[in-house]
Amino acid sequence: MKRFLALLATGATVLGLSALASPPAMAATGCKVDYTVTSQWQGGFQAAVKVTNLGEPVNGWTLKITMPDAGQKVVQGWNATWSQSGATASAVNLDWNRSLATGAVADLGMVGSFTSANPKPTAFTLNGVACTGSVVDPPPVDPPAPGTGTPVDINGKLHVCGVHLCNQYNRPIQLRGMSTHGLQWFAKCYNTASVDALAKDWKSDLLRAAMYVQEGGYETDPAGFTARVNSLVDMAEARGMYAMIDFHTLTPGDPNYNLERAKTFFRSVAARNADKKHVIYEITNEPNGVSWAAIKSYAEQVIPVIRAADPDAVIIVGTRGWSSLGVSDGSNESEIINAPVNATNIMYAFHFYAASHKDNYRATVSRAASKLPLFVTEFGTVSATGGGAMDRASTTAWLDLLDQLKIGYANWTYSDANESSATFKPGTCNGTDYSSSAVLTESGALLKSRISTADNFPTS
């Protein structure tokens, strides 16, 4: 809101890579590895490895080898970052060879040591799929019966495909949901009754947890606010909604001011939630008074922290001018198109407040949506201050456009704040009713009517 190295064996064999930045639909489905011991001596050897991707393109990989025993060790390697834990050796791509198209080859090499023998490794995988020199068809996914299943049940793990957010069937989808207000101020609004209402009555697809960093937020109690966010992640999961973890940077506007805090926070939440398929990471809320180059630099330092723990999650990057794609700073989407963040499976945030941001902002989104994957992680029906009268016509025009373009959104704000952008009338969060007309503001009634309509998620 504005206010605010050990390849062991001789002869040809197969080897594996496991995805880092690739979404599930882009995971490799087969590979072949030509492995050659180029020299060997007492207790050691050198090997060359030619990895051929036979399946779908991958963008980010990890080679994993299960050694015959832990006595075989990686000593040195090249063309990848090598490591070993117990009997498992790994080689992670470098920036220049992270992409492997179908039929593409990665040439790796290493020096290894062994204690008593140098037998073959016992297992290899490529992006979690056993490499047999052929393509493995993924198991079919049976869609839920029509009209049944939660958003997460139906869509599963999400990924970015082209300019869209796509589901487990590799089909573009639109998520519609609500954002919390600052957790330091409105914690009482996020309880069993309110989250039940959001999932069941509102039929929301998404809960965005807005964790302010300053203004009495994360910096005052990192452990406490991290726990609050994780609790909301679990509450969303239990109800089949997606959870967006919002590192709500606003003042100061340069996200690099909070770079180390961001690394600490995302290292923790990504490790804790890595096995969950419903989590989306928003790494900076509304950068302002700062260049796109500075935002890009921040993103390219934070994203690897998340990827180290959660390699396949969707990550959203804030944009210049309070996440306006630069429009509020007199720029536009071209600066991002010309210098995109060097990462995959990411989207870019766009924010609007309907009474303040109208035709020129909508024109930018319409144009940018053909080039960039966008997510409206925050918007309001009122002015950019969070107050004033609701602009129904502009809000409706915005929501119709987002529906047309299949751009997901989260409304500001699912709270009873004393401001016209709030969903609930003041005092609502002291009770148990979060759905009836008696507690909804004009903005809340409009958003509930839009969000609760059928999603019709594609499954084929």
pLDDT tens string, the chain, 460 residues long: the values are: 544 333 333 333 333 333 333 333 345 567 777 777 777 888 887 777 777 777 777 888 787 877 777 777 888 887 788 888 887 888 888 877 777 777 777 777 778 888 766 767 777 666 766 767 765 554 555 666 555 699 999 999 999 999 999 999 999 999 999 999 999 999 999 999 999 999 999 999 999 999 999 999 999 999 999 999 999 999 999 999 999 999 999 999 999 999 999 999 999 999 999 999 999 999 999 999 999 999 999 999 999 999 999 999 999 999 999 999 999 999 999 999 999 999 999 999 999 999 999 999 999 999 999 999 999 999 999 999 999 999 999 999 999 999 999 999 999 999 999 999 999 999 999 999 999 999 999 999 999 999 999 998 998 8
Grouping H, G, I as helix, E, B as strand and the rest as coil, residue 167 is coil
Q: Do domains 16-130 and 152-451 have the same CATH topology?
A: no
Catalytic residue, chosen from 286, 333, 335, 419, is: 286
Residue 259 CB burial class (10 angstroms; 0-12, 13-18, ≥19): middle
What are the respective helix, strand and coil percentages of the chain, to the nearest 5?
Answer: 30, 25, 45
- Give me the residues paired with residue 425 across strands: none
> Encoding tokens for residue 223?
């452990």
152-451: CATH topology is: TIM Barrel (3.20.20)
| Amino acid identity for residue 434 in this structure | Y
16-130: CATH topology is: Immunoglobulin-like (2.60.40)
Q: In whole angstroms, what is the distance from residue 151 CA to residue 82 CA?
A: 39
Closest C-alpha among 370, 330, 369, 371 to residue 350: 369
Instruction: Give the pairing of strands 58-59 and 99-100.
Output: antiparallel
| Structural contact between residues 167 and 153, judged by C-beta atoms closer than 8 angstroms | no
Grouping H, G, I as helix, E, B as strand and the rest as coil, residue 383 is coil
The reply to whether 442 belongs to the active site is no
Q: What is the DSSP letter of 381?
A: S
Q: Is cis: bond before 252, omega within 30 of 0? A: yes
What pLDDT was estimated at residue 18?
A: 33
What pLDDT was estimated at residue 281?
A: 98
For 412, the enclosing helix (H) or strand (E) is strand 409-412
In the block, residue with structure tokens 């870019």: 348
| Amino acid identity for residue 176 in this structure | R
Closest C-alpha among 449, 407, 378 to residue 175: 407
CB atoms within 10 A of CB 190: 22
| Structural contact between residues 34 and 98, judged by C-beta atoms closer than 8 angstroms | no
Q: In whole angstroms, what is the distance from residue 174 CA to residue 94 CA?
A: 33
Rounded (5°) CA angle 130-267-279: 65
For 105, the enclosing helix (H) or strand (E) is strand 105-113
Domain range list for the chain: 16-130, 152-451
Closest C-alpha among 178, 232, 186 to residue 378: 178
The reply to whether 286 belongs to the active site is yes
What pLDDT was estimated at residue 8?
A: 32
What pLDDT was estimated at residue 68?
A: 73
Distance, CA of 436 to chain centre:
33
What pLDDT was estimated at residue 438?
A: 97
CB atoms within 10 A of CB 298: 25
| Amino acid identity for residue 460 in this structure | S
Catalytic residue, chosen from 56, 237, 282, 378, is: 378
pTM: 0.71
What pLDDT was estimated at residue 23?
A: 35
Instruction: Give the pairing of strands 176-179 and 206-212.
Output: parallel
